[in-house]
Amino acid sequence: MINQKKLDRVLKRVERPARYIGMEQNSVSKDLEKVKVKFAFSFPDIYDVGMSHLGLHILYNLINEEEDFLCERVFAPWTDMEEEMRHENLPLFTLESKEEVRNFDFLGFTLQYEMSYTNILNILDLSKIPLLSKDRTDEDPFVLAGGPCAYNPEPIADFIDFFIIGEGEEVTIEILQVYKEHKEGNWNREEFLKSIAKIQGVYVPKFYDIVYKEDGTIKERITLIEGVPSKIDKRMIKDLDSMFSPEKMIVPFIETVHDRVSMEIFRGCTHGCRFCQAGMIYRPIREKSVDKIVELADKLVESTGYENVSLSSLSSCDYSELYLLITKLMEKFEEKKVGVSLPSLRLDSFSIDILKEIEKVRKSGLTFAPEAGSQRLRDVINKGITEEDLVNTVSYVFKEGWSTIKLYFMVGLPTETDEDVMGIKDLAYKVKDMFFDLPKEERKGNLKVTASASCFVPKPFTPFQWVGQESMDEFYRKIYLVKNSIKDNKVTFNYHDPKLSYLEAIIARGDRRISKLILRAWEKGCKFDGWSEHFKYDTWIETLKELDMDGDFYALRNRSLEENLPWDFINPGVSKEYLIREYKRSIEEQTTPDCRDKCRGCGIKGCTMIGGENN
């Protein structure tokens, strides 16, 4: 255990000290001496953000169900805490037992966004664990990583001992089991890595090497030892109902980003939006049954005392029995004053009845994501919603009394023209006009339309994985085009920093050489890059120059379909042929309808959608 006197001194001086004390409702306390495998789970951002991550609650409870295993949490300390810890020479500790992270067997990171990678290094450094995988010895924990960004593991391959590709519920336990056996027998770091490298979904970067061509692209990948797979297949849970689902979740003392019960209702998505990585990598679609969800929701409300249940998924309105589910939940919870909320609504499948049901309890602002301003561009990205969908929905919600509408867009999408960009303004104005077209006595509240634009970042395993990102100058020009055209105090226009998106694009489609960039940038003080007040763009650019690396090579370059991509060795289930087909269709402005109606042949196994050809 760390020095408690030091911790006390430090806690007195920092903002929101409850971030660092643990002890919340439903957190575990196990005897460190009695458990056989100690796993430290880390979300590489501050507590307030990390605690809102559903995956944490699942894996935490899953591991702790096992008597021999222990899972504790560690987050990135906020800068004030880091300063105090370094000042007192206090190593990073887990929240539950206040034990040094380096005394655990595993330190597992969840990779939710690329701009958290410098925080991984900061966490390793504060834990006094060697930053590079090759420098770690038998005394050090294994450092692993999983989550959506692990689908391109290469940019942080130097820091991570092994990756988990795909869904972690089963494979994590398998790995810990193997570890337990190894520890009881003849223990050796290398041998352990060799044996888990054979488990489906596990990727150990040190067993592979990359040969580059003169132009900087990849010539080939070499497998360095025998018996490890050359292609890594993702892991996937077959049946969500029989899968482990937590019946309790940790209730933070302090207010976090999502302060409510969060429940997964299905995995996967059938829409096939071409910019969306989650829509590809989480296939196939698998639903939890209504009964199971209601049963779990009830238990979670009981064990947490929360007054709101949020039904989470990639597109909640797609749940096949949504109306039944909502009715049952409302029936159960109305008396208890528990509200139900549905994030990720889409305009197309928006059900007015559902909205009416939910509205009985609480009425908040509504958010829609048309993603692109014109129909042409929405066709290119395969966002299957029309202006008519928007008009119908918005006119309904205005009549029902909503008056705060948020619209999400992207700029810099493939084939985008100025006309498409100006569509953002047109849509926002259209929404405004619809409000004022209502007779005065029917308008309720004070209208507020917010249009937000983020800068498109092409991601691996999407049909746009070959596309070059828009240049920074173009991003700014387009953003100002919209910004300067909006002159109405009811309509607000926000945009994301193109500089951050440029860095994100470099890392998202980076290869192994990007590890050096991240390490050097961290050494020069970069951390919390996702937080605008901490993002040091100039330092990143300086680091690129210092290392003689070309950021544009990664971010802006159009790849040919034949190029060996750094993440090609990962098999996400969806075939490359499908991605190519979708890419070509996008250029032709051809849409591909939802695969609930007809199978589009994406190659995923185990799909139970109507007409799925691979059942």
Partner 1 sequence: MILRVTFCKKNYLRYIGHLDLMRLFHRSFNRAKIPLKYSEGFNPHPKFSIAHPLSLGIESEEEYMDIDLDYMAVDEFMEKMNEVLPDDIQITKAIYLKKEESIASLISWAFYEINFDIIKDKSKEEIEDIINTWLCKEEIMITKLKKKGKKKIERQENIKNLIGNIVLKEINHNNVIIDTLIKAGDNGNLKPTNLMEALNRDTTLNIDMDSITIKRLGLYAEKDKNIYKPL
- Chain residues binding partner 1 by CB under 8 A are 8-9, 11-13, 17-18, 21-23, 25, 251, 253-255, 302-307, 336-337
Q: Measured from the CB atom, is 227 or 401 closer to partner 1?
A: 401
Residue 125 has which token pair? 């450094």
Q: Largest alpha-carbon pair distance within the chain?
A: 79
In the complex, least distance from residue 51 CB atom to partner 1, rounded to whole angstroms: 13
Q: Measured from the CB atom, is 5 or 34 closer to partner 1?
A: 5
Q: Measured from the CB atom, is 22 or 463 closer to partner 1?
A: 22
- In angstroms, the Cα distances linking 587 to 63, 173, 280, 432, 562 are 46, 43, 19, 32, 17
Residue 589 has which token pair? 């402005």
Q: Measured from the CB atom, is 18 or 132 closer to partner 1?
A: 18
Q: Measured from the CB atom, is 203 or 402 closer to partner 1?
A: 402
Q: Measured from the CB atom, is 51 or 240 closer to partner 1?
A: 51
In the complex, least distance from residue 23 CB atom to partner 1, rounded to whole angstroms: 6
- Percent helix, strand and coil across the chain, each to the nearest 5: 40, 15, 45
| Contact by Cβ (8 Å): 36, 2 | no
Number of neighbouring beta carbons within 10 Å of residue 105: 19
Q: Measured from the CB atom, is 307 or 589 closer to partner 1?
A: 307
Q: Measured from the CB atom, is 252 or 572 closer to partner 1?
A: 252
How far apart, in whole angstroms, are the C-alpha atoms of residue 481 and residue 268? 36
Q: Measured from the CB atom, is 21 or 317 closer to partner 1?
A: 21
What is the identity of the amino acid at 68? D
In the complex, least distance from residue 337 CB atom to partner 1, rounded to whole angstroms: 7
How far apart, in whole angstroms, are the C-alpha atoms of residue 411 and residue 300? 39
In the complex, least distance from residue 360 CB atom to partner 1, rounded to whole angstroms: 13
CB within 8 Å of 302: residues ≥ 6 apart: none
How far apart, in whole angstroms, are the C-alpha atoms of residue 567 and residue 565? 5
Number of neighbouring beta carbons within 10 Å of residue 477: 14
CB within 8 Å of 115: residues ≥ 6 apart: 500, 503, 504, 507, 529, 530, 535
Q: Measured from the CB atom, is 361 or 547 closer to partner 1?
A: 361
In the complex, least distance from residue 13 CB atom to partner 1, rounded to whole angstroms: 8
In the complex, least distance from residue 308 CB atom to partner 1, rounded to whole angstroms: 11
Residue 594 has which token pair? 């939802």
In the complex, least distance from residue 27 CB atom to partner 1, rounded to whole angstroms: 10
Q: Measured from the CB atom, is 254 or 481 closer to partner 1?
A: 254
In the complex, least distance from residue 298 CB atom to partner 1, rounded to whole angstroms: 13
Helix crossing, 514-523 with 498-508: angle to 10°?
Answer: 130
In the complex, least distance from residue 401 CB atom to partner 1, rounded to whole angstroms: 12
In the complex, least distance from residue 470 CB atom to partner 1, rounded to whole angstroms: 40
How far apart, in whole angstroms, are the C-alpha atoms of residue 116 and residue 125? 15
In the complex, least distance from residue 21 CB atom to partner 1, rounded to whole angstroms: 4
Q: Which long-range contacts (CB under 8 A, 24 or more apart) does 388-395 make?
A: 389/347, 389/348, 389/350, 390/347, 390/427, 390/430, 390/431, 391/430, 391/434, 393/347, 393/350, 393/352, 393/368, 394/368, 394/431, 394/434, 395/434
CB within 8 Å of 116: residues ≥ 6 apart: 44, 45, 529, 530
Residue with tokens 């090609």: 568
175, 128, 253: which is closest to 183 by C-alpha?
175
